[in-house]
Amino acid sequence: MPLDPMPDWVLPRRREIGARIRAARLDAQLTQLQLADRIGRDHRTIHRWEYATSVPDLEDLLLFADALDVPLSDLVRD
């Protein structure tokens, strides 16, 4: 069950993870559309993750890390 209201640290952390997702995608020289095709998601979903308007679940993070050959920990660790 999600916390309501969310702790103050949650939104900045979501933005940080989104920025790491975007940086990894750009390092791989992929567009949002190309990455979406690789992991079977819509390109709008990639956009929402990168700009922290939605949160990828663990399965999505695993797909993303695999598609870009980056460790999952690089995406989510402080």
Q: Would 4 be classed as within a structural domain?
A: no
Average pLDDT, the chain: 92
3 vs 4: which has the higher pLDDT: 4
Q: Would 34 be classed as within a structural domain?
A: yes
CA distances to 2, 18, 46, 53 from 71, rounded to whole Å, are 27, 15, 18, 23
Domain with 37 in it: 10-76
Amino acid at site 54: S
Task: Estimate the crossing angle of helix 32-39 against helix 43-50, to 10 degrees.
Answer: 110
CA distances to 35, 36, 44 from 17, rounded to whole Å, are 16, 17, 17
What's the confidence (pLDDT) of residue 31?
Answer: 97
- 4 class by beta-carbon count within 10 Å (0-12 exposed, 13-18 middle, 19+ buried): exposed
Q: Would 63 be classed as within a structural domain?
A: yes
Residue 1 pLDDT more than 80? no
In CATH, what number is assigned to the domain containing residue 53?
1.10.260.40
The tally of domains found in the chain comes to: 1
Residue range 37-53: mean pLDDT, rounded: 96
